[in-house]
Structure formats: structure tokens, C-alpha cells
Structure 1
Amino acid sequence: MRIETKELIIRNFELKDEKDLCEYMLQRVNEKFEAYPDFTEEKVREEIEYRAKSDEFYAIELKEEHKVIGNIYLGKRDFNSRELGYVLNRNYQHKGYGSAASKAIIDYMFSEGLHRIYAECCPDNIPSWKLMESIGMVREAHLRKNVSFHQDENGKPIYWDTYIYAVLNPEDELE
């Protein structure tokens, strides 16, 4: 897949993206929301090989710099739907790139006949759910204590609430 916006290229990962992937993934090791605590520089080769073969992870490349600044995740789900996720290099956040990439891939997937795209985030992750709302997604649910990305000092999972947002293919809304 290859989608272009004014400033971005959304495309499949390539092995040459290893350095850029490592840069933004290492930023996520201690993140509050959806951390990757086991990610290391030594694991980047395995991760880039996985993503280069995947049809669920897509690189977000900044055209001007020819740099991968993040990724879009489109996990395959039942009933002709996908789960949207996004990660951006900290140095490129709050510039509209996440919204532009998400909107472009949603439009593309709907043009290919996909029925529904949904996403989840912690209610405390205000930038994430504001992005979802800015691209036309609608909050459909508030699930209580349904995910855990961290443990307390005794190894017990710390559960968080999540909001679920979704958008339907406009063609399906007419039915």
C-alpha cells in the first residue's frame, strides 16, 4: 500500500526503516500509555523484519525528510472491520501528522470497501481521543478497567478504562 498526502507517505515498512523505527520505539519503553518495556536496540532487527512482512503495520514517512516518523496499525478484525492505532516519534507530535495519516488511511480503506474502523484509548490520553474526534470518529463506549499495560510493585496488573471510538464507511451509513 502507498498513500500520499501533502506532507506524508503512508506505506509498507521496509528493512531500511530500521534506524527510524528504533528511534521512536525506544521513546516508548517507559511510556504511560501502551509502553513497550521489552523493546531494545537489539530487538529492532526482529521488529523491522516482522513489520516489513505485515499487512497491519504501515510506516508514516515525512516526505521532506525521507524519515519514518511513526506508524499506523490497522489490525484485522471480524465483520469487515479494522482496529486503528498510531504511534509517532515524540519530535513530530502535535504537528497534525497523526491526524493526516489516520484520515488518509481511513479514506483509503473505505474506498477499498472496508465497513468499520475503531480505536481504543485511555480516557487520560486526551491527545489520542482528541485526534480520533478530529478525524470524525465517534465515541461509542467507555469500558471500565478492561486493559492493563503496567503492573504495580507486587506484579499485580494495573487496569485502565478505555474509550472506544469508531467510524463507519459513509457508503454503509446510507443503508
Structure 2
Amino acid sequence: MLIPVVRAEAFYQPPPHQPADAWALVPPAERVFRWVELRQQRRLEPPEGFVLGHQLYARINHNRWVADCPCGSAQVVTPTDPRLACTECGAGWFRLVFPEDPEAAEVEVADDLPHERNWWHPDDPSWDRPVQQPADPQIEEPVVTSLLGGGRA
């Protein structure tokens, strides 16, 4: 049985004493505010407007769609409601960038174990890994010489 990549609408669920569909009319990006209110026992209001000129990149991290706020906080997000408002700093709504085909990104990692399912948007400047180049069989492996003996290792 395939374990699906977790999205906000599946992660942010009402508590067990409420009906499973109690938050069905709450947009997925806003459910985090209800979820945090329940767990931290503090009232939160979603912000009114968008932060203009900024966009954040969504990624799959350990089998969850997540995005990072510039303040350092992060949330589970969803391509069905591509926006994020931080419950920590309250900066406003950020537009999220997902791949053109989120399902294709999910399929790309589907064969990995859930904790190894990671995918980064290729345009995300936070992705600090170099692009993987295919191995060229014509290039020989470098010869490592010993500093002490000068011979081959």
C-alpha cells in the first residue's frame, strides 16, 4: 500500500471530539491557525493581506509538503491552496511556488521510504545542493597518492 505525501488538508485535522469534517469549509492554508490554537491555547487570526514581492518555494520533506517562512518557522502546505501565513511572526500571506505538476513530484519520490522522501523545486535558492551530473564512464577515477610514501593508495 502506497503511503501518500502528506498535504495540509490531511495534516491539520480537527480534534477527535469534533466531527472529522468540522473544518471542511476552512481553506486548507488556514487550517493551521485552528490547529495551532488548539495545541497552544492561544487565539490566532489569519492575516488580511499578502506580502508583495515575495514568494516561497514548497518542497517535499520527509513525505510532507512544507514551506519555510523567512522567520525560520515552517508549515505543512498544499498545492490545492498555494499560500502560507506564519503562525509565529504573522508577517502576512506568502504566495507559494509548487511544481507545475505536484503529483509528478510525489510520484518521483514514491519508491523511497517515507522518511527519505525529499524533493526540492529546481528554482528554489534555498536548495544548497549542486545539480547532480551523470557519471561519465570515460573519466578515470583520480589516483590518490600517499603524502608520506608517494605511492598509489
Q: Which bin holds the TM-score, normalised by the shorter protein? A: under 0.3
* Structure with more contact order per residue of length (Cα contacts < 8 Å, sep ≥ 6): 2
TM (norm. structure 2) is 0.27
Query: TM-score, normalised on structure 1?
Result: 0.24
Of Structure 1 and Structure 2, which has the larger fraction of its residues in helix?
1
Task: Work out which of the two has the higher radius of gyration on C-alpha atoms and give 1 or 2.
Answer: 2
Kindly indicate which of the two structures has a greater share of residues assigned to strand. 1
